[in-house]
Amino acid sequence: MAENTTQTSGAPKDENTLGIFSAKAAAAAVNAQTSSRTMWGDAWKRLKRNKLAVIGIIWIGIVIVVALTADLWVPGTLGNPTETDSATMAQNSRLAPSPDHPFGTDTLGRDVLCRVIYGSRISLAVGVLATAISTMLGLIMGALAAYYGGIWDTIIMRLADIFLAFPYTLFVIAMLAVIGPGIQNVFIAIGILGWPSIARVFRSAILTVKENDYVDAARAMGASDARIIARHIFPNSVAVIVVYATMNIGSAILTEAALSFLGMGVQAPNPSWGIMIQDGATYLATQPWLMIMPGLAILTTVLAFTLLGDGLRDALDVKMKDA
Protein backbone atom coordinates (compact mmCIF):
# COMPACT_ATOMS: atom_id res chain seq x y z
CA MET A 1 0.00 0.00 0.00
CA ALA A 2 1.96 2.92 -1.26
CA GLU A 3 -0.82 5.24 -0.18
CA ASN A 4 -0.24 4.58 3.47
CA THR A 5 3.30 5.86 3.37
CA THR A 6 2.38 9.11 1.70
CA GLN A 7 -0.66 9.88 3.74
CA THR A 8 1.24 10.79 6.86
CA SER A 9 3.13 13.48 5.03
CA GLY A 10 0.06 14.56 3.12
CA ALA A 11 -2.77 15.42 5.46
CA PRO A 12 -2.76 14.10 8.97
CA LYS A 13 -6.51 14.51 9.33
CA ASP A 14 -7.20 12.06 6.55
CA GLU A 15 -6.85 8.59 8.00
CA ASN A 16 -10.50 7.69 7.75
CA THR A 17 -11.12 8.75 4.21
CA LEU A 18 -7.89 7.37 2.93
CA GLY A 19 -8.75 4.02 4.37
CA ILE A 20 -11.86 4.03 2.25
CA PHE A 21 -10.16 5.43 -0.79
CA SER A 22 -7.11 3.25 -0.79
CA ALA A 23 -8.64 0.32 -2.67
CA LYS A 24 -9.90 2.65 -5.36
CA ALA A 25 -6.62 4.52 -5.45
CA ALA A 26 -4.69 1.28 -5.78
CA ALA A 27 -6.86 0.22 -8.68
CA ALA A 28 -6.34 3.60 -10.28
CA ALA A 29 -2.60 3.34 -9.76
CA VAL A 30 -2.52 -0.02 -11.53
CA ASN A 31 -4.61 1.47 -14.28
CA ALA A 32 -2.22 4.40 -14.51
CA GLN A 33 0.70 2.15 -15.37
CA THR A 34 -1.08 0.24 -18.08
CA SER A 35 -2.84 2.95 -20.02
CA SER A 36 -1.56 5.73 -22.18
CA ARG A 37 -2.70 9.00 -20.76
CA THR A 38 -4.24 10.84 -23.66
CA MET A 39 -7.83 11.05 -24.74
CA TRP A 40 -7.09 9.61 -28.18
CA GLY A 41 -4.78 6.93 -26.86
CA ASP A 42 -7.46 5.69 -24.48
CA ALA A 43 -10.09 5.93 -27.20
CA TRP A 44 -7.94 3.79 -29.50
CA LYS A 45 -7.60 1.15 -26.78
CA ARG A 46 -11.33 0.98 -26.37
CA LEU A 47 -11.94 1.02 -30.10
CA LYS A 48 -9.65 -1.98 -30.54
CA ARG A 49 -11.83 -3.99 -28.18
CA ASN A 50 -14.89 -3.43 -30.37
CA LYS A 51 -14.80 -6.27 -32.95
CA LEU A 52 -17.29 -4.71 -35.35
CA ALA A 53 -15.43 -1.42 -35.36
CA VAL A 54 -12.18 -3.27 -36.04
CA ILE A 55 -13.82 -5.03 -38.99
CA GLY A 56 -14.97 -1.62 -40.23
CA ILE A 57 -11.47 -0.18 -39.89
CA ILE A 58 -9.90 -3.12 -41.68
CA TRP A 59 -12.35 -2.93 -44.56
CA ILE A 60 -11.95 0.85 -44.88
CA GLY A 61 -8.19 0.35 -44.77
CA ILE A 62 -8.33 -2.24 -47.56
CA VAL A 63 -10.54 0.00 -49.69
CA ILE A 64 -8.27 2.99 -49.17
CA VAL A 65 -5.07 1.04 -49.95
CA VAL A 66 -6.59 -0.54 -53.05
CA ALA A 67 -7.96 2.79 -54.26
CA LEU A 68 -4.66 4.58 -53.74
CA THR A 69 -2.48 1.92 -55.33
CA ALA A 70 -4.85 1.03 -58.17
CA ASP A 71 -2.75 2.75 -60.85
CA LEU A 72 0.24 0.60 -59.95
CA TRP A 73 -1.24 -2.81 -60.60
CA VAL A 74 -4.78 -2.68 -61.95
CA PRO A 75 -4.14 -1.61 -65.57
CA GLY A 76 -1.60 -4.41 -66.01
CA THR A 77 -3.86 -7.15 -64.69
CA LEU A 78 -7.46 -6.07 -65.10
CA GLY A 79 -7.24 -3.56 -67.91
CA ASN A 80 -8.44 -0.02 -68.27
CA PRO A 81 -11.60 1.00 -66.41
CA THR A 82 -12.93 3.42 -69.00
CA GLU A 83 -11.59 2.62 -72.42
CA THR A 84 -13.02 -0.12 -74.54
CA ASP A 85 -11.20 -2.12 -77.14
CA SER A 86 -13.66 -2.24 -80.03
CA ALA A 87 -11.86 -5.23 -81.58
CA THR A 88 -12.44 -7.52 -78.60
CA MET A 89 -15.56 -5.86 -77.23
CA ALA A 90 -18.00 -8.34 -78.73
CA GLN A 91 -16.47 -11.54 -77.29
CA ASN A 92 -15.69 -9.89 -73.94
CA SER A 93 -19.15 -8.46 -73.38
CA ARG A 94 -20.95 -9.45 -70.16
CA LEU A 95 -18.76 -12.47 -69.35
CA ALA A 96 -19.60 -14.36 -66.17
CA PRO A 97 -17.09 -14.15 -63.27
CA SER A 98 -14.02 -16.26 -63.96
CA PRO A 99 -10.37 -16.37 -62.79
CA ASP A 100 -9.53 -13.86 -65.53
CA HIS A 101 -12.38 -11.55 -64.62
CA PRO A 102 -13.29 -12.24 -60.96
CA PHE A 103 -16.33 -9.97 -61.09
CA GLY A 104 -17.13 -10.63 -64.76
CA THR A 105 -17.23 -8.01 -67.48
CA ASP A 106 -19.76 -5.39 -68.50
CA THR A 107 -21.57 -4.73 -71.80
CA LEU A 108 -18.56 -2.92 -73.24
CA GLY A 109 -16.20 -5.72 -72.26
CA ARG A 110 -14.57 -3.86 -69.36
CA ASP A 111 -13.58 -5.76 -66.26
CA VAL A 112 -16.13 -5.14 -63.48
CA LEU A 113 -13.60 -5.58 -60.65
CA CYS A 114 -11.37 -3.01 -62.33
CA ARG A 115 -14.30 -0.57 -62.50
CA VAL A 116 -15.34 -1.29 -58.93
CA ILE A 117 -11.79 -0.54 -57.81
CA TYR A 118 -11.64 2.73 -59.71
CA GLY A 119 -15.17 3.48 -58.56
CA SER A 120 -13.94 3.30 -54.97
CA ARG A 121 -11.70 6.29 -55.67
CA ILE A 122 -14.70 8.38 -56.62
CA SER A 123 -16.78 7.14 -53.73
CA LEU A 124 -14.05 7.74 -51.15
CA ALA A 125 -13.21 11.12 -52.58
CA VAL A 126 -16.82 12.21 -52.56
CA GLY A 127 -17.39 10.79 -49.09
CA VAL A 128 -14.36 12.46 -47.54
CA LEU A 129 -14.37 15.76 -49.39
CA ALA A 130 -18.10 16.35 -49.24
CA THR A 131 -18.06 15.50 -45.53
CA ALA A 132 -15.10 17.81 -45.01
CA ILE A 133 -16.96 20.66 -46.69
CA SER A 134 -20.19 20.11 -44.79
CA THR A 135 -18.37 19.56 -41.49
CA MET A 136 -16.40 22.78 -41.86
CA LEU A 137 -19.50 24.75 -42.75
CA GLY A 138 -21.49 23.05 -40.03
CA LEU A 139 -18.83 23.68 -37.39
CA ILE A 140 -18.59 27.35 -38.21
CA MET A 141 -22.33 27.84 -38.35
CA GLY A 142 -22.96 25.74 -35.25
CA ALA A 143 -20.25 27.52 -33.27
CA LEU A 144 -21.54 30.96 -34.29
CA ALA A 145 -25.08 30.02 -33.37
CA ALA A 146 -24.23 28.45 -30.05
CA TYR A 147 -21.53 30.75 -28.77
CA TYR A 148 -22.92 34.08 -29.80
CA GLY A 149 -26.55 33.12 -29.51
CA GLY A 150 -29.29 35.70 -29.84
CA ILE A 151 -29.94 36.90 -33.36
CA TRP A 152 -27.10 34.76 -34.80
CA ASP A 153 -28.63 31.68 -33.35
CA THR A 154 -32.06 32.52 -34.72
CA ILE A 155 -30.88 33.30 -38.24
CA ILE A 156 -28.56 30.33 -38.58
CA MET A 157 -30.85 27.76 -37.05
CA ARG A 158 -33.91 28.91 -39.01
CA LEU A 159 -31.79 28.74 -42.16
CA ALA A 160 -30.82 25.21 -41.19
CA ASP A 161 -34.48 24.38 -40.64
CA ILE A 162 -35.32 25.62 -44.11
CA PHE A 163 -32.53 23.50 -45.60
CA LEU A 164 -33.70 20.46 -43.68
CA ALA A 165 -37.30 21.00 -44.73
CA PHE A 166 -36.41 20.14 -48.33
CA PRO A 167 -36.05 16.46 -49.26
CA TYR A 168 -32.28 16.10 -49.25
CA THR A 169 -31.76 14.13 -52.46
CA LEU A 170 -34.18 16.32 -54.39
CA PHE A 171 -32.39 19.39 -53.09
CA VAL A 172 -29.03 18.01 -54.26
CA ILE A 173 -30.51 17.14 -57.66
CA ALA A 174 -31.98 20.63 -57.95
CA MET A 175 -28.63 22.16 -57.10
CA LEU A 176 -26.83 19.94 -59.60
CA ALA A 177 -29.41 20.93 -62.20
CA VAL A 178 -28.33 24.52 -61.63
CA ILE A 179 -24.56 24.08 -61.42
CA GLY A 180 -24.44 21.12 -63.79
CA PRO A 181 -23.43 17.47 -63.22
CA GLY A 182 -19.84 16.28 -62.87
CA ILE A 183 -17.69 15.09 -60.04
CA GLN A 184 -16.58 18.48 -58.63
CA ASN A 185 -20.14 19.68 -58.54
CA VAL A 186 -21.15 16.52 -56.70
CA PHE A 187 -18.59 17.34 -53.99
CA ILE A 188 -19.88 20.87 -53.75
CA ALA A 189 -23.56 20.05 -53.79
CA ILE A 190 -23.38 17.26 -51.20
CA GLY A 191 -20.91 19.26 -49.14
CA ILE A 192 -22.84 22.49 -49.06
CA LEU A 193 -26.22 20.92 -48.51
CA GLY A 194 -24.94 18.72 -45.69
CA TRP A 195 -24.09 21.50 -43.22
CA PRO A 196 -27.43 21.95 -41.43
CA SER A 197 -27.43 18.63 -39.62
CA ILE A 198 -23.78 19.02 -38.56
CA ALA A 199 -24.45 22.59 -37.45
CA ARG A 200 -27.36 21.37 -35.34
CA VAL A 201 -25.39 18.57 -33.74
CA PHE A 202 -22.41 20.82 -33.03
CA ARG A 203 -24.57 23.65 -31.73
CA SER A 204 -26.33 21.41 -29.25
CA ALA A 205 -23.02 19.86 -28.25
CA ILE A 206 -21.56 23.31 -27.55
CA LEU A 207 -24.65 24.41 -25.66
CA THR A 208 -24.45 21.33 -23.47
CA VAL A 209 -20.75 21.75 -22.83
CA LYS A 210 -21.05 25.50 -22.28
CA GLU A 211 -23.37 24.95 -19.34
CA ASN A 212 -20.82 22.79 -17.57
CA ASP A 213 -19.33 24.04 -14.36
CA TYR A 214 -15.81 23.51 -15.63
CA VAL A 215 -16.40 26.19 -18.25
CA ASP A 216 -17.37 28.57 -15.45
CA ALA A 217 -14.39 27.34 -13.49
CA ALA A 218 -12.11 28.07 -16.42
CA ARG A 219 -13.54 31.56 -16.72
CA ALA A 220 -13.07 32.05 -13.01
CA MET A 221 -9.46 31.08 -13.51
CA GLY A 222 -8.97 33.84 -16.03
CA ALA A 223 -9.17 31.92 -19.31
CA SER A 224 -10.18 33.94 -22.36
CA ASP A 225 -13.12 33.16 -24.64
CA ALA A 226 -10.84 31.79 -27.33
CA ARG A 227 -9.07 29.55 -24.84
CA ILE A 228 -12.35 28.31 -23.42
CA ILE A 229 -13.65 27.40 -26.87
CA ALA A 230 -10.41 25.76 -27.93
CA ARG A 231 -9.42 24.01 -24.70
CA HIS A 232 -12.69 23.26 -22.98
CA ILE A 233 -15.62 23.37 -25.34
CA PHE A 234 -14.09 21.91 -28.49
CA PRO A 235 -12.42 18.84 -26.94
CA ASN A 236 -15.64 18.00 -25.16
CA SER A 237 -17.74 18.20 -28.29
CA VAL A 238 -15.23 16.90 -30.83
CA ALA A 239 -16.22 13.31 -30.11
CA VAL A 240 -19.74 14.00 -31.33
CA ILE A 241 -18.38 15.61 -34.47
CA VAL A 242 -15.95 12.80 -35.24
CA VAL A 243 -18.70 10.22 -34.87
CA TYR A 244 -21.14 12.23 -36.92
CA ALA A 245 -18.62 12.97 -39.66
CA THR A 246 -17.62 9.30 -39.90
CA MET A 247 -21.20 8.23 -40.41
CA ASN A 248 -21.72 11.14 -42.75
CA ILE A 249 -19.01 9.78 -45.05
CA GLY A 250 -21.14 6.69 -45.53
CA SER A 251 -24.23 8.67 -46.37
CA ALA A 252 -22.31 10.95 -48.75
CA ILE A 253 -21.14 7.83 -50.60
CA LEU A 254 -24.73 6.67 -50.81
CA THR A 255 -25.90 10.04 -52.08
CA GLU A 256 -23.21 10.10 -54.75
CA ALA A 257 -24.21 6.59 -55.86
CA ALA A 258 -27.85 7.63 -56.01
CA LEU A 259 -27.04 10.75 -58.00
CA SER A 260 -24.86 8.83 -60.46
CA PHE A 261 -27.56 6.19 -60.72
CA LEU A 262 -29.96 8.94 -61.72
CA GLY A 263 -27.46 10.35 -64.17
CA MET A 264 -27.01 13.57 -62.22
CA GLY A 265 -23.66 12.79 -60.69
CA VAL A 266 -20.48 11.37 -62.12
CA GLN A 267 -20.81 10.99 -65.89
CA ALA A 268 -19.96 7.95 -68.00
CA PRO A 269 -17.48 6.57 -68.83
CA ASN A 270 -16.14 7.33 -65.33
CA PRO A 271 -16.58 4.25 -63.17
CA SER A 272 -18.89 5.33 -60.37
CA TRP A 273 -20.64 2.59 -58.42
CA GLY A 274 -23.97 4.29 -59.03
CA ILE A 275 -23.46 4.35 -62.78
CA MET A 276 -22.44 0.69 -62.75
CA ILE A 277 -25.63 -0.27 -60.96
CA GLN A 278 -27.61 1.81 -63.42
CA ASP A 279 -25.85 0.07 -66.33
CA GLY A 280 -26.32 -3.36 -64.81
CA ALA A 281 -29.95 -2.93 -63.86
CA THR A 282 -31.07 -3.91 -67.35
CA TYR A 283 -29.37 -7.31 -67.04
CA LEU A 284 -30.42 -8.13 -63.47
CA ALA A 285 -32.19 -11.31 -64.54
CA THR A 286 -29.47 -12.66 -66.81
CA GLN A 287 -26.14 -11.19 -65.66
CA PRO A 288 -26.79 -10.21 -62.02
CA TRP A 289 -23.07 -9.68 -61.19
CA LEU A 290 -23.17 -6.44 -63.15
CA MET A 291 -25.36 -4.99 -60.43
CA ILE A 292 -24.50 -7.12 -57.42
CA MET A 293 -20.76 -6.42 -57.44
CA PRO A 294 -20.91 -2.61 -57.28
CA GLY A 295 -23.91 -2.95 -54.97
CA LEU A 296 -21.83 -5.06 -52.59
CA ALA A 297 -19.07 -2.51 -52.81
CA ILE A 298 -21.46 0.25 -51.72
CA LEU A 299 -23.01 -1.90 -49.01
CA THR A 300 -19.74 -3.00 -47.43
CA THR A 301 -18.09 0.40 -47.59
CA VAL A 302 -21.04 2.31 -46.16
CA LEU A 303 -21.51 -0.36 -43.51
CA ALA A 304 -17.83 -0.15 -42.61
CA PHE A 305 -18.08 3.61 -42.02
CA THR A 306 -21.22 3.15 -39.94
CA LEU A 307 -19.60 0.45 -37.80
CA LEU A 308 -16.54 2.63 -37.31
CA GLY A 309 -18.75 5.57 -36.35
CA ASP A 310 -20.59 3.44 -33.82
CA GLY A 311 -17.35 2.17 -32.37
CA LEU A 312 -15.93 5.68 -32.16
CA ARG A 313 -18.99 6.89 -30.30
CA ASP A 314 -18.43 4.31 -27.59
CA ALA A 315 -14.66 4.69 -27.60
CA LEU A 316 -14.67 8.45 -27.26
CA ASP A 317 -16.91 8.42 -24.24
CA VAL A 318 -14.41 9.15 -21.47
CA LYS A 319 -16.70 7.87 -18.77
CA MET A 320 -16.62 4.37 -20.19
CA LYS A 321 -12.90 4.16 -19.53
CA ASP A 322 -12.99 1.46 -16.90
CA ALA A 323 -15.72 -0.58 -18.51
Partner 1 sequence: MFEKKTRVQMHLKDQPVPEGEHLLEVDDLKMYFHTQDGVVKAVDGVSYTLDRGETLGVVGESGSGKSVTHLTIMGLIDMPPGRIEGGDVRYRGQSLLKMSEEQMQDIRGNDIAMIFQDPMTSLNPVYTIGRQLGEGMRLHRGYSKDEALKRSIELLDMVGIPNPEQRVKDYPHQFSGGMRQRVMIAMALACDPDILIADEPTTALDVTIQAQIIELMREMQKKNGNAIVMITHDLGVVADVADKIMVMYAGHPVEFGTADEIFYNSTHPYTWGLIRSIPDPVMTEKHPLTPIKGNPPSLVTLPSGCAFSPRCPYATDKCRSERPGRIMVGPNHYSCCHYALDKDFVTKNAPKTSRTKPAVKAAAQAEKGGEA
Are the CB atoms for 238 and 255 separated by under 8 Å? no
Would residue 267 be called left, alpha or beta, if left means φ above 0 and alpha means ψ between -120 and 50 degrees? beta
State the nearest-atom distance from the C-beta of 135 to partner 1, in Å. Answer: 20
- CB of 46 or CB of 121, closer to partner 1: 46
CB count in 10 Å sphere of residue 151: 8
HSE-up of residue 159 (Cα within 13 Å, Cβ side): 17
Asked if residue 127 lies in contact with residue 256, where contact means CB atoms within 8 angstroms, the answer is yes
Q: Which is nearer to partner 1, 69 or 212 (CB)?
A: 212
Distance CA 268, CA 95 (A): 20
CB of 305 to partner 1, least distance (A): 25
> Which of these, 135, 162, 164, 175, lies nearest to 259 by C-alpha position?
175
Name the β-bridge partners of 105: 111
Residues in contact with partner 1 by CB under 8 A are 2-3, 6-7, 9-11, 13-14, 16-18, 21-22, 24-25, 28-29, 31-32, 37, 39, 212-214, 216-224, 227, 231-232, 235-236, 318-319, 321
**Separation CA 161–CA 302 (nearest Å):** 26
Shortest separation between residue 18's beta carbon and partner 1, angstroms: 6
Give the span between the Cα atoms of 109 and 113, in whole angstroms.
Answer: 12
As measured in angstroms, the least distance from the Cβ of 231 to partner 1 is 8
Kindly tell me which of 9 and 86 has the beta carbon lying closer to partner 1. 9
Nearest Cα neighbor of 140 from 199, 79, 100, 187 is 199
Q: How far is the CB of 142 from partner 1 (least distance, A)?
A: 19
Choose between 161 and 216: whose C-beta lies nearer to partner 1: 216
Smallest distance from the beta carbon of 83 to partner 1, in angstroms?
52
CB 259 within 8 A of CB 244: no
Q: Is the peptide bond before 99 cis (omega within 30 degrees of 0)?
A: no
Smallest separation (angstroms) from partner 1 to the CB of 233: 10
Residue 90 or residue 220: which is nearer to partner 1 going by CB?
A: 220
Residue 129 or 242 having the CB closest to partner 1: 242
Q: Smaller CB distance to partner 1: residue 16 or 86? A: 16
**Which of these, 158, 62, 154, lies nearest to 116 by C-alpha position?**
62
Report the residue number, 32 or 299, with the smaller CB distance to partner 1.
32
DSSP type of residue 99 = S
Beta-carbon-side half-sphere exposure of residue 206 (alpha carbons within 13 Å): 24
* Distance of closest approach, residue 214 Cβ to partner 1, in angstroms: 4
At 130, the amino acid letter reads A
Closest to partner 1 by CB, 215 vs 258, is 215
Q: What type of residue is 59?
A: W
| Least distance to partner 1, CB of residue 160, Å | 25
